[in-house]
Amino acid sequence: MKRNCGLKKYPRPKIKKTFQNLGCIRATLRKRFAGLLLLIFLLPACMKMGPDYTGADLDFAMPAAFEQESGGLDALKPENLWWREFNDPELDRVVAEVMANNPDIRAAAFRLTEVAAVLRQISADQYPSINLSVQALRQRQATLNPITGNAVSVTGSSYSLSLPASFELDLWGRLARATEAAEADLLASAENQRAVAHSLTAETVSLYLQIAALKRQIRVNRDMVDAYEQGLALTESRYRRGLTSILDVRQARRALAGAEAQLPDLTAALGAGRQMLSVLQGRYPTAETDDFRAPGAFVPPRPIPAGLPSQLLERRPDIRSVEAVLKAASARIGVAKAARFPGITLTGSFGYASGDIGDLFRPENELWRMAAGGLQPVFNAGKLSAAQAAAEARYQQAKMAYAKTVLNAFAEVEGALLNQKELETRRLRMRVFLEEAVAVQEVAVDRYRRGLVDYLAVLDAQLARFAAEIRMVEAEYAVLSNRVSLYRVLGGGWDVVPDPSNPNIDNIADSVVTTP
């Protein structure tokens, strides 16, 4: 004899009838909730509390062009990859590796993914929420028989299936403003990602040029050592023939030792630069990797076109990011203001309940409910008004931060343009100085060979010549480094003036991926 373990065995015809009743659910849902759905989706457009963002009003007038404009004649071709202006394929490869592997850039990409998810989470509050509730209950309880007065134990089962739903009517635009603020946060995060990439690109290019300059300085130092070794050999030869004194020999040895002592510092600086570049590339910091060559002769960058428009600053990611923050702060004023007005929520539920699972979907077991509720703040000791005042104050703070960012951007560009003029003048004068130093050295060596001057004159001329070469390398690096700074503060090259409108939020959200 089989035991059914207390489970009721239903005959097949009853189960078949149960599933036949399931076909009535869709029609019943349409009939019961037609009015509710019509109210939800055909509700007129709600007003939005708070100000509509129309742009930041600065307390100062922006010029049409930069004050420290250049006198260049030829404008550069439009290009976004501004580092290609240096015409170095190896530099292009290094920058590409940094963009692909740098941890800061990858972290910024994940931050963008997070903010995009938060936007979807906040915007979902504008739509109805529908859940599925399923419950099966079997219980035993004691009840009092009113006739006999005795307690009777009753065992029973109950089953229910329902679809509860709720929807908040956004009459005052609180949810719409919250979504607007979240969209601005996503724009700010996207611009922050661009700012990180732009800053790291500039840092990579500057470090690359610094390493190249150090390698040139090491090459000058080694040329100096070779020259002092040749000078020492010449002095010792003349000393052995009695043509000079031991003082000249000692001076030659001193100069050689001093030149050799400079090499370890330059080598250590070069190794540190390589380690920093390895970290930017997402590699283990090594000082041994040397997979790019140092440039030979200095190649001056093409001239900066005259009259750069100040609108170029509108593409700077830090300015666009802080303006997005300002827009979000403006939207949150509306959120705080709408919270002071009544809130209306619609709720409803449709389902079935029965003590017999086989009869659960019978029409007589149908349950439904619709309700509307409102909540109006009456007294909260000024909490909501204080929240609105705080939101307005945060907007003013964001406005001041925007103004400061714009002013700093102008100062950085004007400073870079001013330095560009002075550094270029310095480079040209250093070129003349180096040429004269080389000429003086050649004359001093020739006169020493003929015994017309002592060796100290040769050493002074050599020291001046190699010092001029080192300073020439530094001057050339300063010009290139300042050009990198100008690209950084302008947000790129001087290409077509960007569209000042904000990027499409849907395009940003669609481009977000979980893995950068």
Please tell me whether residues 353 and 322 are part of one structural domain: no
How many Å apart are CA 319 and CA 405, to the nearest integer? 6
Please tell me whether residues 351 and 334 are part of one structural domain: no
Would you say 86 and 205 are in contact if contact means Cβ atoms under 8 Å apart?
Answer: yes
Stretch among 17-31, 128-142, 234-248, 468-482 having the lowest mean pLDDT: 17-31
Taking only the tens place, the pLDDT of each residue in 93-102 is 999 899 888 9
Query: Looking at per-residue confidence, does 76 or 121 come out higher?
Result: 121
Mean pLDDT to the nearest integer, 406-417: 87
How many Å apart are CA 417 and CA 75, to the nearest integer? 15
Domain finish residue from 375, 397, 428: 375
Please list the alpha-helical segments (H only) found in 84-173. 89-101, 103-123
Please tell me whether residues 448 and 397 are part of one structural domain: yes
Q: Is residue 7 predicted with pLDDT exceeding 60?
A: no
Give the end-to-end CA distance of the chain in Å, rounded to a whole number. Answer: 65
Please tell me whether residues 208 and 180 are part of one structural domain: yes
Going by C-alpha positions, the residue among 277, 274, 393 that lies closest to residue 330 is 393
Amino acid at 330: S
Three-state SS at 263: helix
Q: Is residue 87 predicted with pLDDT exceeding 90?
A: no
Please tell me whether residues 119 and 132 are part of one structural domain: no
How many Å apart are CA 110 and CA 104, to the nearest integer? 10
Token reading at 185: 């946060």
Long-range contacts of 142-150 (CB under 8 A, 24+ apart): none
Domain finish residue from 330, 351, 375: 375
How many Å apart are CA 40 and CA 34, to the nearest integer? 10
Please tell me whether residues 244 and 111 are part of one structural domain: yes
Mean pLDDT to the nearest integer, 389-399: 92
Please tell me whether residues 353 and 394 are part of one structural domain: no
Query: Looking at per-residue confidence, does 244 or 309 come out higher?
Result: 244
Please tell me whether residues 203 and 266 are part of one structural domain: yes
Which residue range(s) make up the domain with 144? 18-43+128-169+342-375
Tell me, yes or no, whether 58 lies in a domain: no
How many Å apart are CA 61 and CA 363, to the nearest integer? 73
- Domains: count for the chain: 2
Q: Is residue 390 predicted with pLDDT exceeding 90?
A: yes
Token reading at 117: 């998810």
Please tell me whether residues 251 and 397 are part of one structural domain: yes
Amino acid at 49: M
Please tell me whether residues 285 and 151 are part of one structural domain: no
pLDDT of residue 424: 87
Q: Is residue 78 predicted with pLDDT exceeding 80?
A: no
Tell me, yes or no, whether 62 lies in a domain: no
CB neighbours (10 Å) of residue 399? 20
Q: What's the pLDDT band for 504 if we cut at 50, 70, 90?
A: low
Alpha-carbon distances of 478 from 213, 229, 265, 278, 468, rounded to whole Å: 10, 31, 20, 23, 15
CATH of the domain at 102: 1.20.1600.10
Query: Looking at per-residue confidence, does 389 or 377 come out higher?
Result: 389
How many Å apart are CA 225 and CA 514, to the nearest integer? 56
CB neighbours (10 Å) of residue 504? 10
Tell me, yes or no, whether 302 lies in a domain: no
Tell me, yes or no, whether 232 lies in a domain: yes
Query: Looking at per-residue confidence, does 133 or 310 come out higher?
Result: 133
Going by C-alpha positions, the residue among 234, 216, 233 that lies closest to residue 296 is 216
Please tell me whether residues 474 and 411 are part of one structural domain: yes
Please tell me whether residues 326 and 196 are part of one structural domain: yes
Tell me, yes or no, whether 284 lies in a domain: yes
pTM above 0.95, yes or no: no
Share of the chain above pLDDT 70, in %: 77
